[in-house]
Amino acid sequence: MNQIRAVVVDPTASGRLAVRNVAAPSAGGSEAMIRVRAISLNLGEIRRARAAQAGWRPGWDVAGVVEAAAADGSGPKAGARVVGFLPVAAWAELLAIPTGSLAAIPDSISFEAAATLPVAGMTALYALGKNGSLLGRPVLITGASGGVGQFAVQLAQLSGARVVACVSRAERAKYARDCGADEVLVGNDPEGASRFGPYHLILESIGGKSLAAALSMLRPAGMCVLFGTSDTPEVTFDARQFYSGAGILYGFILFDEVKRESAAQGLARLVSLMAAGRLRSPIEVRGSWNEIGKFAERLWNREIAGKVVLSID
C-alpha cells in the first residue's frame, strides 16, 4: 500500500502531535490532488487534538500545488498554486481536496501566507458579513491579537467600520494597532468598550465576562457574532440589558457558513485582497512541521499572537 506522511495524534509525542506514515489518499471525481507545501495551526484544532485518541488526524488549512486536477474538469489545473480548506485531516503532504474548497493563488503570495487564510481569514470574513454594511458603523472585535482577530480588524477597517479592538494584555495591543484598529482596549474591559458603542456588530470569541459585556453593548438590531469561548463558555448576564437593545446573538460555525458561501469563493475574495496588498497575513511564527508538537504547545499556552505556519519538508 502506498504511504504518505501526515500529522497524527500520538500521546507519547511532544504536544501529542507527530508526523507519521499513513495510507495515501485517492481523489473522487470533483477532488484535486494537492502536493502540500505549507500548513497553518488554529487554536480550535489544537484543542481537539489535545483530547483526541491516538491516530486521529487534525488539520484544516493548507497551501500547495495541484498535482492532478479533478477528473470532472472543475477547479484549478495541474501545476496551479492553491490554498485549500478541509474539515479534518488536512495536515498531510498529499491531499485530495474538493474543488469547491480550493482557490488559486498568484506567485506574489507565498504558500505560508496563503495557508493562514482558510479558518482564520474565512471566519473573520464571514462573521463580518453577518449584519449588513459596516460603512461608518462601530464594530467591536474581542480576541483581537489572535489569528481570527487580526484578520477581522483588517477586514473591518477595509469595510469602512470604526473598529474597536479588545486584547487581553498590554503587550499585545500593538498587534491590533498594526492591523489598523481605531481604538485598542486592554483587558476586555466592558466599561472601556462601552465608551465607543453601542455597536452595530460585535465579533466575540472569549466568552465569560467578555460575552456578557458584549451583549450589553449592542445597538437596536445590532448583532453579536459568537464564534469562540477561548476563556470560558459559562456566562452570567443581565438579560434586560440585552433585550432593551433588541440585539441579535448569532452562533457562528465556519463549517456551516461554507455551505452558504463556498470556501472556494471566500478564499478567492481573501486572496484578491492579499494580492492587491490590502490584507496581510498575521504570521508570527514559521517552522517545520517536524516540530509541530512544540508549536502546538506554544499556541495552546498563549505564547504566540497571530498565526503559526509550518512548511512541509
Stretch 197-236: interaction string toward ligand NAP, x if CB under 6 A? --------xx--------------------xx-xx-----
CA-wise closest residue to 200 among 248, 132, 138: 138
Cell numbers found for residue 69:
486536477
Q: Does 305 bind ligand NAP (CB under 6 A)?
A: yes
Whole-number minimum distance, CB 204 to ligand NAP, in Å? 9
Taking a C-beta distance cutoff of 8 angstroms, is the pair 226, 251 a contact? yes
CA-wise closest residue to 109 among 33, 37, 7, 35: 37
Q: Does 252 bind ligand NAP (CB under 6 A)?
A: yes
**Which residue's C-alpha cell is 437596536?**
220
Choices 63-71, 77-85, 237-245, 246-254; region in contact with ligand NAP by CB under 6 A = 246-254
Nearer to ligand NAP, 93 or 284 (CB): 284
Nearer to ligand NAP, 227 or 242 (CB): 227
Q: For residues 251 and 273, what is the distance between their CA atoms, to the nearest angstrom?
A: 26
CA-wise closest residue to 270 among 71, 54, 52, 116: 116
Q: Site for ligand NAP (CB under 6 A): which residue of 9, 141, 148, 283?
A: 148
Interior angle at CA 235, CA 230 and CA 237, nearest 5: 135
Q: Does 190 bind ligand NAP (CB under 6 A)?
A: no
Choices 11-19, 107-115, 247-255, 271-279; region in contact with ligand NAP by CB under 6 A = 247-255
- Residues of this chain, 254-293, that bind ligand NAP according to CB under 6 A: 254
